[in-house]
Amino acid sequence: MIWQAFWAVAQRDLLLAWRRKSEGLSAVFFFVVVAALFPLGIGPEMNVLRNIAPGVLWVGALLSSMLALQRLFEADYRDGTLEQMALSPVAMPLLVGAKMLAHWLVSGLPLVLLAPVLGLQFDLSGDALVTLTLALLLGTPILSLVGGVGAALTLGVRGGGVLLSLLVLPLFVPVLVFGAGAVEAQVSGLGVQAHLSILMAMLLPAVFFGPLASAFALRIALE
């Protein structure tokens, strides 16, 4: 019963995202546009671009995730579905976790898959691209999980989108540091083991605490 509820919530969100493809894709296109803006602003000199690539791509992924976060709970809050989840005998953190999973599949996974393609624009080596993909694979779920708390707290609040960014960006800094750091380490020939392990070490508690804190915040928003 419990896991059925989990998969039902995830499936419902995925189905809804499928029926409104434009919403999910817009955040992903944002990533592409941002990644293109930096070279336009800095100049086409390949050496420079290769240096800034890890940072640029990670910041782009971060900003794109933040845009997508606003949609995590908004629709459910407005149409009353969130209330029904709060009233379900199934533990709310579990249902929130399912939403975050669906959200990551729609908004995070495309970034992971796109990043190596964009990385080619910055002349990153094959190994660096692999590292980038792995790092994003570990890092983007953390963004959905931790960012969800911010999304829950700013539900229905004036100035929600910008406020969400202000709340959530400081919390993303460790992911950014180790995520971009992993690619840089790869490029400079140092091992990436440490960086990826630390990302994993941040992911595991986030899987547990993210939905818990978000469910708590959602109940505050529903009061």
Partner 1 sequence: MNILRANFWFHYAGPQAFYGLAGRLWPWFAALAAVLGVWGLWLGFMVAPADAQQGEGYRIIFVHVPASWMSMVIYLAMAFWSVLGLTFNTRLSGMMTRALAPTGAMFAFLSLWTGALWGKPMWGTWWVWDARLTSELILFFLYLGYIALTSAIDDQRRGDRAGALIAIVGAINVPIIYFSVKWWNTLHQGASVSLTKSPSMAQVMLWGMLLMALCFWLYTIALVLCRVRTTILQRESHTAWVQAIAQEAA
Partner 2 sequence: MLTISNISCVRGHKPLFTPLSFSLQAGQALHLEGDNGVGKTSLLRIICGLSPADSGEVLWNGHALTRQHPEVVEAFRATLCYMGHNLSLKEDLTPIENLLFEAQVAGRSLSHEKGMDALRKMGLNSRAHLPLRVLSQGQKRRTALARLSVTAAKLWVLDEPFVALDAHSLDNLRALLANHVQQGGMLLFTSHQAVELLQTNGHAIEVQPIRLVAA
| Interface contacts to partner 2, rule CB under 8 A | 1-2, 4-5, 7-9, 11-12, 15-16, 19-20, 78-81, 83-90, 95, 222-223
The CA dihedral of 185, 189, 193, 198, to the nearest 10 degrees, is: -10
Binding mask 193-212 for partner 1 (x = CB under 8 A): ---------x----------
Contact criterion met (CB below 8 Å) for 105 and 114? no
Other beta carbons within 10 Å of 200: 11
Residue 55 touches partner 1, criterion: CB under 8 A? no
How far are the Cα atoms of 94, 134, 159 from residue 109, in angstroms, in the given order? 21, 11, 28
Residue 167 touches partner 1, criterion: CB under 8 A? yes
The nearer residue to partner 2, 10 or 111, going by C-beta atoms, is 10
**Binder among 31, 38, 77, 178 for partner 1 (CB under 8 A):** 178
**DSSP H helices in the chain:** 2-19, 21-42, 46-69, 74-79, 81-86, 92-103, 109-121, 126-153, 160-187, 193-222
Q: Binding partner of residue 47 among partner 1, partner 2, none, CB under 5 to 8 Å per kind?
A: none
Minimum Å gap between C-beta 23 and partner 2 is: 11
The nearer residue to partner 1, 10 or 155, going by C-beta atoms, is 155
What are the structure tokens assigned to 200, written together?
Answer: 């994993």
The nearer residue to partner 2, 7 or 29, going by C-beta atoms, is 7
Minimum Å gap between C-beta 223 and partner 2 is: 5
Other beta carbons within 10 Å of 37: 12
Contact criterion met (CB below 8 Å) for 203 and 143? no
Minimum Å gap between C-beta 152 and partner 2 is: 15
How far are the Cα atoms of 2, 51, 90 from residue 215, in angstroms, in the given order? 16, 40, 12
Minimum Å gap between C-beta 215 and partner 1 is: 11
The nearer residue to partner 2, 19 or 44, going by C-beta atoms, is 19
